[in-house]
Amino acid sequence: MPEPPSVLVVGSINVDLVVHAERLPARGETVAGGRLERTGGGKGANQAVAAARAGAAVALVGAVGDDDLGEDALAALRAERVDVAAVRRIPGVATGVALIVVDAAGDNQIAVASGANHELAAGDVRAPHPPACVVAGFELLDEPVVAAARIAAEGGCPLVVNPAPARSLPPQLLGLRPILTPNRHEAAELSGQEDPEAAALVLRQRTGAPVVVTLGEQGALVADESGVSRVPAPSVTVVDTTGAGDAFNGALATGLARGCGLRAAVTAAVTAAADSVTRAGARG
């Protein structure tokens, strides 16, 4: 059998505390009667799991605290065949936690306490094995994201950067040709353009690389040297949209690591994201 493609993920590791409620609370409102669930989370960890499930050999670089939540998070990742040897355990710092409310329609609200994720430094970022694709996300500080980008540049492999939550793109990142994968809201915030196609074109001009804007149930939009095209999503029954973007990015990285063209990799990623929303939890 062929060797699985190697994917390096540099990203966040959280524990998700999820309340399933009938509806999302309004400002200042308490919605009672929900059901609590505790699961593994963090965009980086979720992307690593998605890539591993898609058939990649995945190494994750991140940070957790020396608390019970950190140990549980690492155990869950090991169970998914994710290499966590490069994950840093930081004494006296809490593991990242996400507080999530999911309503009956599958929509969510999320607040994150970053904890150890914001202690990860550029010097902590290394590749245990030469990667065929690198993924980095904005739940970390700029320095480790740029360090991940440099690993991709030095290895001559694709770099996927998920700018979520959106913030200004680090100047050092722009010249390293990241494939940005914002959702429509992040794309608007990064570009100043509300229309996803216009936003993608602005971002592509800024990076000189393809841009993929995820559009939820409408699939994804791809802007590259061939122009702009859309990849539709299959129709599914939505249970929980938490982690759909992470499933997309993990599957996209696996496709690119296999040597697939961008549109083929995006098509597989859209399918993976659609499948993910049919189950509860970020790693359902």
Interatomic CA distance for residues 255 and 268, integer angstroms = 7
Q: Which residue has the tokens 């919605």?
A: 31
E-strand ranges in 105-168 read 108-113, 133-137, 159-162
Q: Is 246 a catalytic residue?
A: yes
Name the token pair of 64: 């957790």
Interatomic CA distance for residues 46 and 74, integer angstroms = 12
E-strand ranges in 163-240 read 179-180, 211-214, 220-224, 227-231
Rounded to 10 deg, the angle between the 244-257 and 262-276 helix axes is 150
First to last CA, the chain: 28
Name the token pair of 54: 């898609």
CA distances from 209 to 82, 160, 178, 198, 266 (A): 28, 10, 6, 15, 15
Catalytic residue among 16, 68, 246, 275: 246
Q: Provide φ and ψ at 3, rounded to 5°.
A: -65, 140
- Give catalytic residues, as residue numbers: 246
